[in-house]
Structures are given as structure tokens and as C-alpha cells.
Structure 1
Amino acid sequence: MAATIRSFSSLYGATLLMVLAAGLLTTYLGLKLASMDVAKVWIGAMMSAYYLGLVLGSKIGHRLIARVGHIRAFVASAGVVTASALGHALVEQLEIWLVLRLIVGMCMMCQYMVLESWLNEQADSKNRGTIFASYMIVSYLGLVLGQGAMSLNPELTIKPLLLVAICFALCIVPLALTRRIHPQPLKPAPLQIKVFWQKVPQSLTTIAMAGVIVGSFYGLAPAFAASQGMNTEQVAAYMATTVMAGLLAQWPMGKLSDRVRRSRLIRTNSVILGILVLAMALLPLSGWLQLGFTFVFGVFAFTLYPLGAALANQNIEQHERVALSATILLTFGLGASIGPLLASAFMQLGGSNMLYAFMAAVAALLFVRLQQVNYQQKQQEKIAPKDYMMAAGDLVGSPLAAALDPRVDQTTVDAQMRSARYPQSDDVPAPADEQAQFELDLSLQEPGVVKVPDPQSTPDKPVD
């Protein structure tokens, strides 16, 4: 295992630096906008622009990687992100910041595609789980370190932006010096959104709502924490605690989903999450109690996406997985783009606590929708045609049924068929010779149907 991780150390190092910079930049902008006392809608719009950039960047990234290769595409994207991060220090016009966030999202999606496609191609069935589990751990660790870096620079000066730029610049180095063979150019996966929404509606609904909740938290939780009277170090600790909870919950929640039905587990998750965030919106929390609540929030909020993705992959065929992955990423990105805008509008109208009230409404909506889809699927299963149906009609009581039973002797079957065709009764006497048998055959035929024996056929000779 250690050797496998070391062989991908260059990719993991680039991931750690890149995610650290992204987490630090997101928290810095949230706190900076809150200190500027701008409308909450602007804070939500900044985060929505980032996730919208992720959605748009999926298409641009495919074309860029196919055109110049993985390493060059990563280097170019890192350069643009570095310049965009420093651009926040040059101007304070919100419209320019909105465009910069969009550009950062597009370029970071290209970087994510380079790293994940590289890992996916060079991993095999024996170590794929270990490699991607390590990748997720490094990603969450980068987010936590990003919040810690914010606490080391409590003043909202240019220093955090310089650190962001340094990390984005340094993430180029591991890939530029790697000795691993870079993967083949990407082939765009076809989007089949309507097909998958019909096939796995519970999964995609869960992923969309998870995007709304997670996007709202990342974009607006720093502003919420600042409005509660927390200083920069406390805000960083608040964010780091939540992200760490999401990291620690991945493995146990995954093991639990292997034992409990995932659809039921997702519904239970949504109920607990809804009650929890409603309490966070209504109760006057502070100090360690508030950190405890946000830790539990991270456990249930950050496991919705992997549970939905696992449920989706469980119900589709192997050849559909690539197209499903593209649909999942698009669905999550759209949810994360819409969530901060709606949550910021709620906060603008009802105060900062409305962030968690909005999440409670989303969790309730998710539960109701999942219940509805689950009920519809059960009704369809009841009326669906069965693979096996009980036989009915004349065949059940016919002697021909005995001919289909391998346990019955053939001689017995012939005797039953003959007795059924020529019953010994007063109306139809048994034939005495061949001529009588022919006349009896004619009398038993349906009106208008005449069966004439073949003149060239010879009657069977009796067997001694």
C-alpha cells in the first residue's frame, strides 16, 4: 500500500497544494466581503460563479487536454488561476471579482480532470480503491490546512492572497518533474441527463440537493460565523472542524452503506440533517457547543454526495459508468451554483441564521421527494409483469401436459393421447380397422376442414 501511494506522490502533492489554495481563497473572500459589509447576495453570487465555472470548465477542459496534453493543460490552468487570485488584490470592484471567480472555477475543473483522469488510467483493479481513497484524504486534508493557513493570517490583508498564489504556482512543480508516463488524451463522455434522471432519480436528486447544501456552506458559512461575533481564527476553526468531520465520516458511512439499503440510509440522513440544521438556526449556540453542532453537520452533509453516487452506480450497467460520472458532476455543479444564490437571498431577508434554515428546507424537500420516488417505484414493481406466470387454459388439463413432464414414461403418454383422441363411448366407437379409423378421423374434424392421408405413406407395421 505504501509503495502504491509513493508511486503517485507527485499527483498527491499537486492535489494537496491546489486544494489548500482553493480552500484558503474561498474563506478569505467570504470574510473579506463580510468585512466590506456588502449584501449577502454578492457573497452567494461569488460562490455560485465558482461552481458555474466548474460546470463550464468540464467542456473546456476536455478540449484543452485533448489538444495539448495533460501536463501542459495543468500548467496553463495553474498559471491562469494564480493570476486570477492576485487580481483580487489589485481591484476591489465586485463585478471584476465575480468574473475572476468564474475563471478560477473553469481552470480548476481542468486541473481536477487532469489529476483524476491520470489516476484513473494508471490505477488497476487491485489498487484503484486505495489510490482514490488516498486522493480523497489528501483533498480533505488540503481543505483543513487551508483553513489553518487562514488562522495564521488573521488580518485580511494581501498576505493570504500571496499564499494562495504561491501554492497554485508550486502545484505545477510535482507534475512538471514527475517520471510517470502521462495518460492518453481524454475522450468526451456523452451526457445522457434525461435517461439517468429516469433511471436513477433518487440518486441524482440526492446529489443535486447535496450540491445546494455544500455550496451554500462553503460560500456563506464564513460570513455566518463572522456575524456571530467570531474572529478570523475562530472562523477558520469553525470551517476546519466541519471539513474534518466530513473527512472522518467517509469510511464509516461507506461501510454502513454496504450493510443498510442506501436509499433508506439517505432518507435517514436527510431527516437527521434537517433536524440538526433547524436547531442550529433556532438555538443560541456558541463556543464548544457550536463546534460540536457543526462537526455533526459535517458528518451528514458531506456524506450525502458519496451515498448518492454509490446508489447511482449500483443501479446501472458497466458501460454506462463514464456517462453517469459526467451527469453526476454536472448535477452537483448546478446544485452548488444555485444553492449560494438562494441561501444568500434568505440571509438578506431574514438574517444570517437563515443560512441553516434554508438548509433545513432543502433537507425536508429532499426527504419528501425521495419518499415520493420510492413510493412510485414500489407501485411500478407491483404492476410490472412477472418473469414467471402460472399456466392456465386447456393445456393444464390436457394429456399433452404429461408429454412435457420428463418423469412420465413415453408409452403411458401415447396411451393417454390415444384414449383422449378416441374415447370409448357410445357416441364415438373405437375403430375396428383402418377404413373405420379414417372415417372416424373425418367425423372428428372441424367443419370445413378435411385431412386426407398421404397416398404414398404406408401404415406402420406392428412391432413384435
Structure 2
Amino acid sequence: MLATILPVRSLLAAIFMMMAGSGFLSTLIALRLERGGSSTMVIGLVATAYFGGLVIGALRAGAIVRRVGHIRAFATFVALLSVSTLTYALVQQPALWAALRLVDGVCVAGVFICIESWLNDRADSTTRGSVLASYMVALYSGQALGQLLLRSGNTAPQVPFELASILITLAIIPVCLTRTHAPVLEDAASLPLRRLFAASPLGVVGAGITGLMLGAFYGLAAIYAGRVGLDLKGTASFMTIVILGGVALQWPLGRLSDRFDRRLVIIGCFAATLLVSLALATAPGGILLFVLGAAFGGLAFALYPLCVAYVNDRLASHERVAASGQLVLLYSAGAALGPMGAATAMSQAGTGGLFGFIGLAAAGTLAFGLCRLAISAPVPAPEQQDFQILPRTTPVAALLDPAGPEPAPYDDTTGEPWTRT
């Protein structure tokens, strides 16, 4: 395992620092906007701008990487993200912050494209699973630990933005100093959405609705936590526990889906998410809130990779990478819609409207899944693919799947691809 990680340690360090700096900005910005008197709808709109930027970046940032190369593109995206982060500390104006969040989303997507294509290029069929696991650990641990920086704003309100900018800027160093050969980014394969839906209606709908639910959560969970009585420290802890809970349950639920009809596991997770969401919508606070938050993270975070795995069960092997890329975009589109839907629910139903909205989305998917269970046959157990935890970032992340295409082997002494003579 260590021998697998060492060649890509600079990339993993970069994504850890970038996520530690940027991963808590959604929480911080939502809290600052509410403190400044912005309505729930405005906060939802600002959150939507970020996820919209992720979609735009996932579709367009690759062209920049191809034009100037991975290192220059990475440095550009990170520098712009750092500048944007400092700008929040200078002026609080919701319209400007929405524009900055759009820029943030584009930049973060560009960083993901650079890192993920680079990791895929350095992996082969025997190491790709280990590289993917290491990448997920670096990404989620950075995001979880970054939430703790929320507490730094007790003394001076600009400090969290300054610390975030420092961490984001430091992410440039390991990439710019790496001796690892930068790959050539090729166009990601695509698969028509009609083909995906025909192959697996439940998987496609589940991926999109999961984006809707988690987009709503990331956009407005901090507002929910504050309104149920958590202080800044408690809000940071709540967000951290949800993320860590999401990491903890993905693998056990995935392995369970490898042994049984995967549809039953997906439907069960949506049903359990519905119940936990209803409990969170009415929870009075206290330790129960954190227990329910961990359960919500564990269930909701597992839904996307479960849906991807189920779609892959229904496709030919050469279609799977393209399908995973399309599902990432579908998830991101759902995430862009989630904050506004949740903001509307909170405006009408109060604090519990956030998880009421998430529960309603889970209930609709649960009903759809039960209908699919009644009218379609399961995938035979021998034909089910092994579950893989995949990041919900950009279509390039699909290439990290061990079922993905084999990259060109490298000469370890020169760092250059082998060429045939």
C-alpha cells in the first residue's frame, strides 16, 4: 500500500490541503450570510451558485488543462480560489458572494480534474484501487478536519477566510515541485442519458436525487444547526461528524450490496434516510442530534456509489467509465437544485424544513424504487460488479475506477511513458 501511495504523495497532500481550506467555506458562508441578515432564500441561492460552478467547471475546465498543461492550470485554479476566499473577508454583499461562489465551483472542479486525471495516469490495474482509496481518504479527511477552522472566527471574523486562503495556497507547492510526469488529458467518453435510464432507471434517478439531498445539506445544514441551538463549535462538530459518518458506512453498505440484490440495499438506504431525516426535522438538539447526523451521513453518502454500482451492473464493461462520468454530472445538477428547494422548504416550514425536504426527496425515490422492484428482475449475483467508493467530483473521477481503461506504463527511472520501438 505504501509503495502505491509514495509516487502520488504530492498529489494527495495537495488535495488534502485544498479541501481543508475550501471544504468548510460552504458552512462558513452560510453562517455569515445569516448573521448579516440574509434570508434563507438568498443563502440557498448563494449555495446553488457554487454547485452551478462545479457543473460548469466539470464541463469546461478540461479545455484549460489541455491548453496550458496540468501544473499551470492547477496553479491558476488554486490562485484564483485563494483570491476569491480572501475577497469574502473584505466585503459581505450577497450578490458578490454568489458570483464568488460560482467562481469557486469552477476552480474546485478544475483542481479535481487536474488531480484525478494525474492520479489515473499514474495508476494501473493492480494499484488503481489503492490509489482511489488513498484519494478518498485525503479528500474526506481534509474536508472533515477543515470544519474545525470555523472556531477560529471567535476572535476576529476575517481569520477563518485567511486560514482557508493560506491552506488553499499551500496546495500549490507539492504540485509545482513534483517531478511526476504530467499526463495528457484526453476527452472523457460520454454515454447518452437515455441509454443510462433505459439500462437502470433506479440508478439514474437515485444518483440525481442523492445530489439534490446532499446539495441541500451542504448548502443549509449550518443554518439548521444554528437554529436548533448549536453554537459555532457545535456546528463545526456536527458537520465533521456527518462527513466522518459518511466515510464510515460507505464500505460496509457497499460490501452488503455485493452479496445481495443491490436494489434492496439502495431502497433500504433511502428508507433509512427518510426515517433519519424525519427524526432530524423534529430533533430537539443535544447528543441525539449528533447521533442522527452521523447516521444521516453514513446513509446519504453511500447512496451515490451504490447507484453507480447498480448502473454498472446493467451495462457492458466498455460503457461503465462513460456512464460513471454522466452520473457525476447528473449528481452535480441535482446538487445545484437542492439548496433552493431546501431554502423554500425552510422558509415555509421553519428549521425542520431542510430535513423535511430531504426526507420528501428520499420518500419519492423510495416509492420509485419499490415500483422498479416489482416490475423488473434483479441482476444475477454472479453478474454484479464489485462495489467501489467513487468521489462525486467530476467525470474524470470515473477513470479512477479499477474497471477503467489501462493507462500507459511508465519508466520508473525517467518518469516518461514507455514507447514501442
Correspondence for 2:194:
194
The 8 Å contact of residues 211 and 335 in structure 1, kept in 2 or not, is answered as yes
TM-score, normalising length: structure 2: 0.87
Higher mean C-alpha deviation, range 20-29 or range 123-132? 20-29
Higher mean C-alpha deviation, range 190-199 or range 253-262? 190-199
Q: What secondary structure, in the 3-state scheme, does the structure 2 residue paired with 1:33 have?
A: helix
The 8 Å contact of residues 30 and 222 in structure 1, kept in 2 or not, is answered as yes
Q: What secondary structure, in the 3-state scheme, does the structure 2 residue paired with 1:124 have?
A: coil
Deviations 1:40-76 (A, max 9, x none): 0111111111111111111221211111111111111
Residues in 2 aligned to 1:226 and 1:258: alpha-carbon distance in whole angstroms: 39
The 8 Å contact of residues 152 and 160 in structure 2, kept in 1 or not, is answered as no
Is 1:37 matched up with 2:40?
no
* Distance change in 2, residues 1:293/1:150 (3 Å): same
The 8 Å contact of residues 270 and 363 in structure 1, kept in 2 or not, is answered as yes
Residues in 2 aligned to 1:303 and 1:70: alpha-carbon distance in whole angstroms: 31
* Distance change in 2, residues 1:57/1:176 (3 Å): same
Residues in 2 aligned to 1:341 and 1:353: alpha-carbon distance in whole angstroms: 15
Q: How many residues of Structure 1 are paired with residues of Structure 2 in the alignment?
A: 379
Correspondence for 1:254:
254
Correspondence for 1:139:
139
- More contact order relative to length (CA 8 Å, sep ≥ 6): 2
Task: Give the deviation of 1:248 after TM superposition.
Answer: 1.2
Task: Give the deviation of 1:191 after TM superposition.
Answer: 4.8
> What residue identity is the alignment partner of 1:258?
D
Correspondence for 2:289:
290
The 8 Å contact of residues 274 and 359 in structure 2, kept in 1 or not, is answered as yes
Correspondence for 2:415:
none
Correspondence for 2:368:
369
Residues in 2 aligned to 1:17 and 1:365: alpha-carbon distance in whole angstroms: 38
Correspondence for 2:348:
349
Correspondence for 2:103:
103
Deviations 1:173-215 (A, max 9, x none): 1110111111122224335222212222111111111111111
Task: Give the deviation of 1:378 after TM superposition.
Answer: 4.3
Correspondence for 1:237:
237
Task: Give the deviation of 1:151 after TM superposition.
Answer: 2.4
Is 1:358 matched up with 2:374?
no
Is 1:310 matched up with 2:304?
no
* Distance change in 2, residues 1:3/1:289 (3 Å): same
Deviations 1:232-264 (A, max 9, x none): 111000111111101111221222121122111
Residues in 1 aligned to 2:188 and 2:250: alpha-carbon distance in whole angstroms: 29
The 8 Å contact of residues 32 and 156 in structure 1, kept in 2 or not, is answered as no
Unaligned runs of 5+ in 2: 379-421
Residues in 1 aligned to 2:6 and 2:36: alpha-carbon distance in whole angstroms: 44
Residues in 2 aligned to 1:256 and 1:229: alpha-carbon distance in whole angstroms: 37
Higher mean C-alpha deviation, range 141-150 or range 182-191? 182-191
Higher mean C-alpha deviation, range 253-262 or range 264-273? 253-262
Task: Give the deviation of 1:376 after TM superposition.
Answer: 3.5
Aligned pairs for 1:157-236 within 5 A: 157-236=157-236
Residues in 1 aligned to 2:182 and 2:77: alpha-carbon distance in whole angstroms: 17
Aligned pairs for 1:267-278 within 5 A: 267-278=267-278
> What residue identity is the alignment partner of 2:371?
Q
Residues in 1 aligned to 2:111 and 2:341: alpha-carbon distance in whole angstroms: 28
* Distance change in 2, residues 1:155/1:297 (3 Å): farther
Task: Give the deviation of 1:80 after TM superposition.
Answer: 1.1
Residues in 2 aligned to 1:191 and 1:96: alpha-carbon distance in whole angstroms: 36
Q: What secondary structure, in the 3-state scheme, does the structure 2 residue paired with 1:363 have?
A: helix
Q: What secondary structure, in the 3-state scheme, does the structure 2 residue paired with 1:74 have?
A: helix
Residues in 1 aligned to 2:177 and 2:137: alpha-carbon distance in whole angstroms: 23
Unaligned runs of 5+ in 1: 380-464
Task: Give the deviation of 1:310 after TM superposition.
Answer: 1.2
Residues in 2 aligned to 1:90 and 1:189: alpha-carbon distance in whole angstroms: 42
Residues in 1 aligned to 2:283 and 2:22: alpha-carbon distance in whole angstroms: 31
Deviations 1:142-182 (A, max 9, x none): 11111112224335611111111111111111110111111
Correspondence for 2:64:
64
After the TM superposition, which segments of 4 or more aligned residues of structure 1 sit over 6 Å from their partners?
none
Residues in 1 aligned to 2:338 and 2:156: alpha-carbon distance in whole angstroms: 26
The 8 Å contact of residues 118 and 182 in structure 2, kept in 1 or not, is answered as yes
The 8 Å contact of residues 277 and 357 in structure 1, kept in 2 or not, is answered as yes
Residues in 2 aligned to 1:41 and 1:77: alpha-carbon distance in whole angstroms: 29
Residues in 1 aligned to 2:98 and 2:215: alpha-carbon distance in whole angstroms: 16
Correspondence for 1:421:
none
Report the RMSD for the aligned CA atoms in angstroms: 1.6
Deviations 1:92-144 (A, max 9, x none): 22111111100110111011011111111211111111110111111110111
Residues in 2 aligned to 1:314 and 1:73: alpha-carbon distance in whole angstroms: 35
Residues in 1 aligned to 2:90 and 2:344: alpha-carbon distance in whole angstroms: 28
Is 1:84 matched up with 2:84?
yes
The 8 Å contact of residues 34 and 226 in structure 1, kept in 2 or not, is answered as no
Residues in 1 aligned to 2:302 and 2:220: alpha-carbon distance in whole angstroms: 19
Correspondence for 1:384:
none
Correspondence for 2:321:
322
Percent identity over paired residues: 34
Residues in 2 aligned to 1:196 and 1:75: alpha-carbon distance in whole angstroms: 35
The 8 Å contact of residues 44 and 342 in structure 2, kept in 1 or not, is answered as yes
The 8 Å contact of residues 154 and 233 in structure 1, kept in 2 or not, is answered as no
Residues in 2 aligned to 1:154 and 1:353: alpha-carbon distance in whole angstroms: 27
Residues in 2 aligned to 1:163 and 1:247: alpha-carbon distance in whole angstroms: 25
The 8 Å contact of residues 52 and 102 in structure 2, kept in 1 or not, is answered as yes
Residues in 2 aligned to 1:58 and 1:144: alpha-carbon distance in whole angstroms: 23
> What residue identity is the alignment partner of 1:190?
S
